Amino acid sequence: MTKGIIHYEVGEQIDVYLLVKSVTKGIASNGKPFLTLILQDKTGEIEAKLWDASLDDENTYVPQSIVKVLGDISNYRGRTQLKIRNIRPANASDHVRVADFLEVAPMKQEEMMEKLTQYIFEMKNPNIQRITRYLLKKYENKFLEYPAATKNHHEFISGLAYHVVSMLDLAKAIVKLYPSLDADLLYAGIILHDLGKVIELSGPVSATYTLEGNLLGHISIMVSEISKAAEHLGISGEEVIILQHLVLSHHGKAEWGSPKPPMVKEAEILHYIDNLDAKMNMMDRALEKVKPGEFTERIFALDNRSFYKPTFHR
Amino acid sequence: MTKGIIHYEVGEQIDVYLLVKSVTKGIASNGKPFLTLILQDKTGEIEAKLWDASLDDENTYVPQSIVKVLGDISNYRGRTQLKIRNIRPANASDHVRVADFLEVAPMKQEEMMEKLTQYIFEMKNPNIQRITRYLLKKYENKFLEYPAATKNHHEFISGLAYHVVSMLDLAKAIVKLYPSLDADLLYAGIILHDLGKVIELSGPVSATYTLEGNLLGHISIMVSEISKAAEHLGISGEEVIILQHLVLSHHGKAEWGSPKPPMVKEAEILHYIDNLDAKMNMMDRALEKVKPGEFTERIFALDNRSFYKPTFHR
Amino acid sequence: MTKGIIHYEVGEQIDVYLLVKSVTKGIASNGKPFLTLILQDKTGEIEAKLWDASLDDENTYVPQSIVKVLGDISNYRGRTQLKIRNIRPANASDHVRVADFLEVAPMKQEEMMEKLTQYIFEMKNPNIQRITRYLLKKYENKFLEYPAATKNHHEFISGLAYHVVSMLDLAKAIVKLYPSLDADLLYAGIILHDLGKVIELSGPVSATYTLEGNLLGHISIMVSEISKAAEHLGISGEEVIILQHLVLSHHGKAEWGSPKPPMVKEAEILHYIDNLDAKMNMMDRALEKVKPGEFTERIFALDNRSFYKPTFHR
Amino acid sequence: MTKGIIHYEVGEQIDVYLLVKSVTKGIASNGKPFLTLILQDKTGEIEAKLWDASLDDENTYVPQSIVKVLGDISNYRGRTQLKIRNIRPANASDHVRVADFLEVAPMKQEEMMEKLTQYIFEMKNPNIQRITRYLLKKYENKFLEYPAATKNHHEFISGLAYHVVSMLDLAKAIVKLYPSLDADLLYAGIILHDLGKVIELSGPVSATYTLEGNLLGHISIMVSEISKAAEHLGISGEEVIILQHLVLSHHGKAEWGSPKPPMVKEAEILHYIDNLDAKMNMMDRALEKVKPGEFTERIFALDNRSFYKPTFHR
Amino acid sequence: MTKGIIHYEVGEQIDVYLLVKSVTKGIASNGKPFLTLILQDKTGEIEAKLWDASLDDENTYVPQSIVKVLGDISNYRGRTQLKIRNIRPANASDHVRVADFLEVAPMKQEEMMEKLTQYIFEMKNPNIQRITRYLLKKYENKFLEYPAATKNHHEFISGLAYHVVSMLDLAKAIVKLYPSLDADLLYAGIILHDLGKVIELSGPVSATYTLEGNLLGHISIMVSEISKAAEHLGISGEEVIILQHLVLSHHGKAEWGSPKPPMVKEAEILHYIDNLDAKMNMMDRALEKVKPGEFTERIFALDNRSFYKPTFHR
Amino acid sequence: MTKGIIHYEVGEQIDVYLLVKSVTKGIASNGKPFLTLILQDKTGEIEAKLWDASLDDENTYVPQSIVKVLGDISNYRGRTQLKIRNIRPANASDHVRVADFLEVAPMKQEEMMEKLTQYIFEMKNPNIQRITRYLLKKYENKFLEYPAATKNHHEFISGLAYHVVSMLDLAKAIVKLYPSLDADLLYAGIILHDLGKVIELSGPVSATYTLEGNLLGHISIMVSEISKAAEHLGISGEEVIILQHLVLSHHGKAEWGSPKPPMVKEAEILHYIDNLDAKMNMMDRALEKVKPGEFTERIFALDNRSFYKPTFHR
């Protein structure tokens, strides 16, 4: 009903519920403590300063708590900031839930699972089909909840599954135009390529890197998982090596984290589809924050480029 | 009827017509001249040595002439070579034409032109539509005959038009999945992005670089062409700049020849579609020369990689 | 009469007129707004903080307004800063004009135009001469007023024309020592190489990038302009391509913005002369701010180097 | 008794037994076939041409056969070459065996295995010890026979085990000087780091890359092996991840094949010890071929450098 | 007795003597001056803010003065900071000396000199021995006091000599394992490789770069010194060139400051030993600040990596 | 009288005296030895094959001998080659001298020395003047005879001195346009910058690298020489360091062999002048071999570029 926090402009007054994403304590130049709050709703986040913060405040405004806040949108060094007039913690009678403030994929988990099941069902190569089904089953719950990354693209609840489903649909269109592609292999590669993220990342919300994530990375984790799955299922054909290779090489180059570059056609195409869907997501999210005739802010993962929204768009 | 020249194996004897692609004269260690002939048919080419070549031979076996040759396929330093037993120039009674030996796109020029016309016809933005139609019209004949490059990908007759048509079909599928894309802009960018090649390259066969190709390149040539077209048509909207930008940035990075990286969403996607179609073409052509279980030869334009053809493919 | 703002040392008191270059509003830790003013005179600029700024202050101290300010030069994080004691807007009776505070080239526009005219007059190749004269004429006014860049070098009024005139004089000396150079081509290349900046940049003062500047860049803009000029003048000789090439390649390498590297001798020399004059300007401006025995601050455009001023220099 | 093949000088005559390492057939300019033979003994190899080769010759002189050859050492394009006067296949009465011509590590397999067993025996951490012992056992036979690489360093029989034993001795000396190092971890990392080569390479002699070697590489292969070993042994402590990390990161950088750089102290030191031992081996082998006062030939794996042997060295 | 300053945790109160390392003056947003003090003891340093600083304070709290300070450890932007409650300058009756607060090498100067003398004494090549002894003698006092660098590694009193002695011991162990190494050359190279730092740096404490350090660097300085020493001692053998080369090449690559890469075996090994000892020192110093299960802060000189301390370490 | 060897075209017959530059022996496929001769005159060189070479031929046609040769210019793999019909060694009655066939600088040694003396004479700073004069005197003879490099630019007799004199004249013109430059410093830097080449290279003809050249390089050699010269002359001012810096930094970047980049204005300009003169020399020598409308062969030292000679150039 109320518009999202990122859509307010400098000078507007707000009176809304927001979720506390993170809190940092600082000491002001007058020697008194203050809190820097990152507040969010489904559309994004905004920074707010709470001056002369008491110990009580520190204990009240903690991450994952919900607040009711009255304040003004101002500009600080080129970024919008919220100047708080009044703030209080939400209580039971406010009828607000944490989930209301978290961004989620624009498709239901059930619907995504159904699509995945269908893609696997249609595979003709039994080795590829069994390994894919086994591993998806093994990590199904986490796969349906995790984000695709901690930042950059699809960094929302169920972002991982949504990214995979989008890639599958894109792959299907490409296979139709270039029929020499092995659809089974390509679909399996897409489903498995980022599945290691359920071990690399800490959880569906405010994800950080686990020790395995830091020291091994989702690519090596998944290559080992395929190896163990094949052993478990008693599969030893060339399909095992090729599937491992698709996962291993999907970042495209050694300096991007793939110790081997794609050396199978479907591996090269998987890398492209992954990139295309991720970039589309990043550009769309940046562009929806600006008006026609404006440039977006710089997007680090896109070589730090800004993108222009033409005036003739709408 | 006869199989293509690239499909013979070492040890086989051939007795076929071939087109002379190029000739180089050398002096053998016995002091006598010899000719190195590159002979081709629609599937590819093979090197042959003509020892003790007379002056008459030099005058007879010239580029674009057709020969009847009897010989053996041998191996020299890992590449197949044709050891000539007997060679003679083809004559009228042989009923062979140069066109029979040149590779052409697998789609008729008329069919491609029809598709292009349809894509342009469906454009809703009149500025984009008029510039695109005007420039395609201006260079239509050459556009339908030229290759897309002198080597690497789509280096055959009508390769340029075929590459563009394939990209348009891929773009259409992508626009359907990501409806926030501006289809007019993307289609126009695809049609114009390599059109400068008709000035950059010397012709449809055995293309080399023209002076403008060497000193300016097809990107800068086309950016100027759009500028002149807009002036001629009296169009001055932002569409002109954006179209120029799509052409300018389609190589993606400065070190790949684009002085500006893509800074409009459709420019980024154009760059991706271009790459994907070109790479698919390169991989397919390399893979069709090897059997399942083998690696292709290294492909320079794909970071010098070889590609493996899985044994479970067919 | 009074010394320039950059020549004051920490601890000195000032009482001078200054031009407001830019203003940013901030919120202090006591919750009150303050203004960060960048104030300038012909020699350079200084930052000043205006604490507890009223709404009235915000409306008074705007860019391009002149102020009378009394204050102390202090040091903040290694940079000089102005601590304001008293500030007021200048009024008519102060008899100060904006132009008094802007840096301009050390040569009159008329004098520069005269030199340019003479260089063009002496050209012997009519194609080169006509194109150069036509384009200089077309953008003469802006060419004489614009800076050569938004920062780095010659970033002052008429900086573009001054840079070109300095380069021409240097070119003349080089042509004398290396007579195999084509003087016409070199002079024309110098005059045209940065002319696209009049379209790339927004104006002579506080220049920013226009949309064409951002999406196409001054190099591509000028290559198109030469193409259109040649068409307009009915010139089609090789000189057109070579002139376009000189402009296109003057940044020397793809990663510095030139899609083609210099492939004509005069193009290579133009690149060198451009660099030499720009670097001399940057080094001189940095060195004049330090004393013998000191290092300058780091100069970003010179690979982030500092330069040492030897003690035996005066 | 006879000196090694690499120690003959141009002009000397030889009359020795040599092993045929590889054979390539070519066609001379007089149209007759010839064979290029690479002949080797324990010290190295030499190229020889057999002109006017008959079909019989082709069938006789095949890889892994032994020949008796009389000929002269000559120089061809700066490399020594053997000019054959007389050649015949060795027969039973010659009493020569293939193993006599292959380079092997300068330490017996039993002695190396004993050292390895001792290092594992001394480990105090049971998780590390069990995984190391299990995997060494699993691949013991191949580990003791394989080379450490197909070229560059330790490319001889048992080169892998010899490289590992040398590294362990070096590690022991370093642990003594820097006692904060975890000896168990470092030793285990050394033993496992290249063990994947027994799957990556085809065999102990004339090794080539297997499909897994090409598509996955010995690093990823071994990371999966550790994962499976831990599962098999029921070990799940942090040691498993850290051991995988040591193997994963031992090439030091992404562009050298390690998707994660060393992030544990022992991983960094392992990378150094590996490099130091490999480089020492490469330099020693190149230097022993030259005399004091000379430079070695360029060593590709050492950034293509040549090394100088000082005249005051003996 | 009291624990080192880096070992306090957020929330603890301290009441200790500390040395003022550096002071910077700032202006708070209330317009009053404050001092940012960097305070240190042997274990490290901490930042403290002194608000509302009087002119008297500025004159009292100067670098190299000792203070008695009562305060609280707090956290500011992820770094510990000292919140001062009370501060006063130390006086004679406090019985504290500057040397008590400076980090020094963990080995006595006499002991280090003795080791060095022994290494030189054992050299067998008289040319190498004489040059090394002469230059060490010439700069002995500074060599024993200087740090090895201004930051990164061994940046403490006598760090240079300690680094050299550690490298010599490591070299001795390596020579034993690889006896083909020329011990004299390697030891001499180690002793001389960084000796130029006594000219490059300003002194043993708070070292900065001298003019020669900035414009020439310790490598070129030392190469000249060897040249002059050889001339002075009347030595002209090849040893002079090789010793200069060892110093010249010890950074390994042109981009790391060595105009020539190592081209003598001992030069390559010197580069490795230098790196290994320096990195071990950096990692140890970073790791001792964290607990098992934690990552260190990023270490710039180690490619900005953090290192993990395994939980099974103690 | 006769035209230079590089100016003959394929098909022409020659009957001239030429100098043997180098000889390589090979074995033809018929088993007989042949000689590959590189023959030269002042304009350049050509390759010739002498088939069926007798031992007598080998002893007769040695480097630095002169031959009379009758033959035909042919083309081999795109390069001209001389097909010998008749060859004999020149004898006394032929009245030809080696010097007649070597390229020399287009200015007399005396004239160059006079110019250098004048530049030094005009220096006002006595420290700079004395060091420069002393070092030029020390190496005067070699300086006047050596080439500036073994290949790439000014690789002819007296090329070093000629390069320096050209640079001085260019410097003089630049100092006039940018009077803030310190002429003494710039001239001294130019005279000394490459003087180390007289130690780095083996001699004036067919120069190779000496051991010092290989292991230290001319830059480090000269930095040491300045250090020794200053000690000898009792000069210790800042000029010594700055002069060393100019020599040290004249290659501009670490990866081009300068351990420190230019950090003094005159050092930066010296780097530019050096480059400009060297590149002009390379381009001129390549362009004089082609006709208007053609491209030169690729010039390795100019980033492997070819240069186009416009058709409107004569």
**Higher confidence at residue E197 or residue D36?**
E197
Chains in contact with B, where contact means 3 or more Cβ–Cβ distances below 8 Å, are A, C, D, F
C-alpha E113/C-alpha E140 separation (Å) is 9
Cβ neighbours of B224 (radius 10 Å) = 24
Of D66, D100, D134, the residue at which a domain comes to its end is D100
**F217, F222, F224, F229: CA torsion to nearest 10:** 160
Inter-chain CB proximity B26 and F51 less than 8 Å: no
Residue of F nearest to B34 (CA): F76
Q: Which residues of B touch D211 (CB under 8 A)?
A: 308
User: Which of B210, B212, B215 would best serve as a mutation to test chain C binding (most C beta carbons within 10 A)?
Assistant: B215
E154: left (phi over 0), alpha (psi -120 to 50) or beta: left
Give ∠ CA C112-C282-F264 in degrees, rounded to 5: 130
Where residue A118 falls among pLDDT bands split at 50, 70, 90? Answer: very high
C-alpha A260/C-alpha A244 separation (Å) is 11
**Higher confidence at residue F76 or residue B170?**
B170
Series of mean pLDDT values for 10-residue runs along chain C (314 residues): 79 90 77 85 88 87 91 78 90 88 92 97 97 98 94 89 97 96 98 97 89 97 98 95 98 94 98 97 92 94 96 84
Q: What is the pLDDT of residue D99?
A: 81
Q: What is the least distance, in Å, from the CA of B61 to any CA of chain D? A: 20
3-state class (DSSP) for residue B286:
helix
User: Are the C-beta atoms of F144 and F162 separated by less than 8 Å?
Assistant: no
Q: What is the pLDDT of residues A154-188, one digit of tens each?
A: 889 999 999 999 999 999 999 999 999 999 999 99
Residue of A nearest to C26 (CA): A76
Asked if F275 reaches chain C (Cβ–Cβ under 8 Å), the answer is: yes
C-alpha E259/C-alpha E252 separation (Å) is 9
Q: Could you identify the residue written with the tokens 């950034």? A: D303
Asked if the structure places residue F140 within a domain, the reply is yes
- Residues D71-97 have a mean pLDDT of 86
Chains in contact with D, where contact means 3 or more Cβ–Cβ distances below 8 Å, are A, B, E, F
The upper half-sphere exposure of residue A1, i.e. CA atoms within 13 Å in the direction of its Cβ, equals 3
Q: What is the pLDDT of residue D1?
A: 46
For chain F, the three-class secondary structure string (H helix, E strand, C coil) is: CCCCHHHCCCCCEEEEEEEEEEEEEEECCCCCEEEEEEEEECCEEEEEEECCCCHHHHHHCCCCCEEEEEEEEEEECCEEEEEEEEEEECCHHHCCCHHHHCCECCCCHHHHHHHHHHHHHCCCCHHHHHHHHHHHHHCHHHHHHCCCCCCCCCCCECHHHHHHHHHHHHHHHHHHHCCCCCHHHHHHHHHHHCCCHHHHECCCCCCCECHHHHHCHHHHHHHHHHHHHHHHHCCCCHHHHHHHHHHHCCCCCHHHCCCCCCCCHHHHHHHHHHHHHHHHHHHHHHHCCCCCCCECCCEHHHCCECCECCCCCC
C-alpha E218/C-alpha E198 separation (Å) is 8
C-alpha D72/C-alpha F27 separation (Å) is 13
- Residues F189-207 have a mean pLDDT of 94
- pTM (2 decimals)? 0.90
In a shared domain, residues C49 and C145 = no
Q: Distances from the Cα of C229 to the Cαs of A42, B134, C244, in angstroms?
A: 54, 20, 11
In a shared domain, residues D121 and D250 = yes
Asked if A262 reaches chain B (Cβ–Cβ under 8 Å), the answer is: yes
Of B26, B30, B31, the CB nearest to F76: B26
In a shared domain, residues B34 and B174 = no
C-alpha E39/C-alpha E55 separation (Å) is 20
What are the DSSP E strand ranges found in chain B?
13-27, 33-41, 44-50, 66-76, 79-89
Q: What is the pLDDT of residue F1?
A: 47
Asked if E242 reaches chain F (Cβ–Cβ under 8 Å), the answer is: yes
In a shared domain, residues F127 and F244 = yes
Q: What is the least distance, in Å, from the CA of A196 to any CA of chain D? A: 14
Q: Let me know how long chain D is.
A: 314
Asked if the structure places residue D117 within a domain, the reply is yes
Query: Among F140, F101, F149, F150, which residue's Cα sits nearest to residue F120?
Result: F140
Q: Under 8 Å CB-to-CB from F106, ≥6 apart: which residues?
A: F162
Q: Let me know how long chain A is.
A: 314
Residue of C nearest to A33 (CA): C29
Q: Distances from the Cα of D294 to the Cαs of D302, F163, F210, in angstroms?
A: 18, 32, 12
3-state class (DSSP) for residue C221:
helix
- Residues B117-140 have a mean pLDDT of 97
**H helical segments located in C74-209:** 109-121, 126-138, 140-145, 159-177, 183-193, 197-200
Q: What is the ipTM of this complex?
A: 0.87
| Lookup: tokens for D277 | 């031992």
**Higher confidence at residue B24 or residue D287?**
D287
End-to-end CA distance of chain C: 24
Inter-chain CB proximity B224 and C219 less than 8 Å: no
In a shared domain, residues F231 and F248 = yes
Inter-chain CB proximity F238 and C174 less than 8 Å: no
Asked if the structure places residue A253 within a domain, the reply is yes
Q: Under 8 Å CB-to-CB from D269, ≥6 apart: which residues?
A: D171, D174, D181, D186, E276, E280
Inter-chain CB proximity B263 and A306 less than 8 Å: yes
Q: Under 8 Å CB-to-CB from E99, ≥6 apart: which residues?
A: none
Percent of chain E with pLDDT over 70: 97
Q: What is the pLDDT of residue B113?
A: 97
Asked if the structure places residue D72 within a domain, the reply is yes
Asked if the structure places residue B207 within a domain, the reply is yes
Inter-chain CB proximity B269 and A261 less than 8 Å: no
Q: Which residues of A touch E83 (CB under 8 A)?
A: 27, 31
Q: What is the least distance, in Å, from the CA of D26 to any CA of chain B? A: 6
Q: What is the pLDDT of residue B264?
A: 98
Residue A9 buriedness (CB in 10 A; 0-12 / 13-18 / 19+): exposed
Asked if F224 reaches chain E (Cβ–Cβ under 8 Å), the answer is: yes
Inter-chain CB proximity F276 and C269 less than 8 Å: yes
For residue A121, pLDDT beyond 70: yes
In a shared domain, residues C21 and C82 = yes
- CA F13 to chain centroid, in Å, comes to 30
Query: Among B17, B195, B6, which residue's Cα sits nearest to residue B99?
Result: B17
In a shared domain, residues D202 and D157 = yes
User: Are the C-beta atoms of D6 and D101 separated by less than 8 Å?
Assistant: no
**Higher confidence at residue F152 or residue F88?**
F88
Of D30, D76, D295, the CB nearest to F27: D76
Asked if A86 reaches chain C (Cβ–Cβ under 8 Å), the answer is: no
User: Are the C-beta atoms of F50 and F29 separated by less than 8 Å?
Assistant: no
Q: Which residues of D touch E302 (CB under 8 A)?
A: 268
Q: Which residues of E touch A211 (CB under 8 A)?
A: 308
In a shared domain, residues E209 and E246 = yes
Q: Which residues of F touch E216 (CB under 8 A)?
A: 223, 241, 244-245, 248, 260
Percent of chain A with pLDDT over 90: 69
End-to-end CA distance of chain D: 24
Percent of chain E with pLDDT over 90: 68
User: Are the C-beta atoms of D199 and D146 separated by less than 8 Å?
Assistant: no
Q: Could you identify the residue written with the tokens 């001129």? A: F284
Mean pLDDT (chain F, rounded): 92
C77: left (phi over 0), alpha (psi -120 to 50) or beta: left
Q: What is the pLDDT of residue E205?
A: 83
For residue B1, pLDDT beyond 50: no
User: Are the C-beta atoms of D204 and D157 separated by less than 8 Å?
Assistant: yes
Q: Which residues of C touch F166 (CB under 8 A)?
A: 177
Helix (H) or strand (E) holding E15, with range, is strand E13-27
Where residue A83 falls among pLDDT bands split at 50, 70, 90? Answer: confident
Inter-chain CB proximity B27 and F76 less than 8 Å: yes
Q: Which residues of A touch C214 (CB under 8 A)?
A: 295, 308
Asked if the structure places residue A309 within a domain, the reply is no
Residue of B nearest to C228 (CA): B228
Q: Could you identify the residue written with the tokens 């196409």? A: C216
* Residue B71 lies in domain: 5-100
Asked if B17 reaches chain A (Cβ–Cβ under 8 Å), the answer is: no
Asked if C27 reaches chain A (Cβ–Cβ under 8 Å), the answer is: yes
Asked if the structure places residue F208 within a domain, the reply is yes
CATH number of the domain residue D56 falls in? 2.40.50.140
Cβ neighbours of D79 (radius 10 Å) = 10
Query: Among B113, F3, F183, which residue's Cα sits nearest to residue C313?
Result: F183
Chains in contact with E, where contact means 3 or more Cβ–Cβ distances below 8 Å, are A, C, D, F
Return the sign of the alpha-carbon dihedral for residues C271, C274, C277, C281.
Answer: negative
| Lookup: tokens for F255 | 């990866």
Q: Under 8 Å CB-to-CB from A298, ≥6 apart: which residues?
A: A304, A305, A306
In a shared domain, residues D233 and D146 = yes
In a shared domain, residues A70 and A113 = no
- Touch between chain D and chain B (3+ CB pairs, < 8 Å)? yes
Q: Could you identify the residue written with the tokens 């020291």? A: A215
Asked if the structure places residue E192 within a domain, the reply is yes
**A208, A214, A219, A225: CA torsion to nearest 10:** -90
User: Which of E74, E294, E306, E307 would best serve as a mutation to test chain A binding (most A beta carbons within 10 A)?
Assistant: E74
Where residue D25 falls among pLDDT bands split at 50, 70, 90? Answer: confident
Where residue B83 falls among pLDDT bands split at 50, 70, 90? Answer: confident
User: Are the C-beta atoms of F263 and F271 separated by less than 8 Å?
Assistant: no
Give ∠ CA C129-C135-C140 in degrees, rounded to 5: 115
Q: Which of residues 37-76 of C touch F (CB under 8 A)?
A: none
For residue D219, pLDDT beyond 80: yes
Where residue E1 falls among pLDDT bands split at 50, 70, 90? Answer: very low
Q: What is the pLDDT of residues D178-195, one digit of tens each?
A: 999 999 999 999 999 999
C-alpha E282/C-alpha A58 separation (Å) is 37
C-alpha E297/C-alpha E306 separation (Å) is 6
Number of domains in chain A: 2
In a shared domain, residues F221 and F247 = yes
Inter-chain CB proximity A245 and D219 less than 8 Å: no
C-alpha B36/C-alpha B42 separation (Å) is 20
Q: What pairing do the DSSP bridges indicate for beta strands E44-50 and E79-89? A: parallel
Q: What is the pLDDT of residues A224-262, one digit of tens each?
A: 999 999 999 999 989 999 999 999 999 999 999 999 999
In a shared domain, residues D71 and D116 = no
Of B65, B100, B135, the residue at which a domain comes to its end is B100
Q: What is the pLDDT of residue F78?
A: 65
